Structure 1
Amino acid sequence: MTGAQVVLSDNTGQTETLQYVGDGKYKTTNFTGVTGRTYTLKIQAEGKQYTAQSSMPEVVNFGWTYTGFFTFGERLLIPFFLFFTDPIALGNRYLFNFTVNNMTKKTFEVFFR
């Protein structure tokens, strides 16, 4: 959506109006997420206001990682395993970004050759 006013704030009083960067995306220039802070997102668009609020959960440290190579039929597969202890709190979500040859990939299929 273009032309919206998008404001991000936290419970310490920091506030920023996000800049439109194209393709329906808005970007911050100053904010860095901090564990334990609560963030509020306010969007004013087409005469309506939308508000969302969420807190940044604790950091989850990775125990160890493992990668290897094996073939499956005629394909070379490169599995990546990540081991960590998920905190007891319910509703945890994790987002992993994959980069192959300096290019961010959106699907796992990019690891098949």
Structure 2
Amino acid sequence: MSRRILVVDDEEAIREVVRTGLEVVAGWDVDVATDGAQAVASCEADPPDAVLLDVMMPAMDGPATFSRLQENPRTQDVPVIFLTAKVQPPERRRYEELGVAGVLAKPFDPLTLPDQIADLLGWT
């Protein structure tokens, strides 16, 4: 089954590595956003099947973006997975307490990333 994922990261190299991994390995459709505001607007216009969201971004970080998505009935059911370099137990617990679908660590292997996402979202 084809899935559509929104990848949100302020670093172009990360967006492109994730996009390539998800498109080539899993055959998913991938949209990208460079910041939280763009992600919220994209999700409101056409909610994706899931969002892969960087935690550390300028202006609106991942948790703030997730909060905005949760406030809107049109986007509140879209599963969000945080992508972050900060994966120490205290940070991971804080992110999970927000209600995200999961947390994935940077750096990641783009070849196994689709399976990790599918496992977190029960798409397997």
Taking structure 1 as the reference length, what is the TM-score of the superposition? Answer: 0.26
Q: Which has the higher contact order (CA 8 A, sep 6+)?
A: 2
**Structure index of larger Rg:** 1
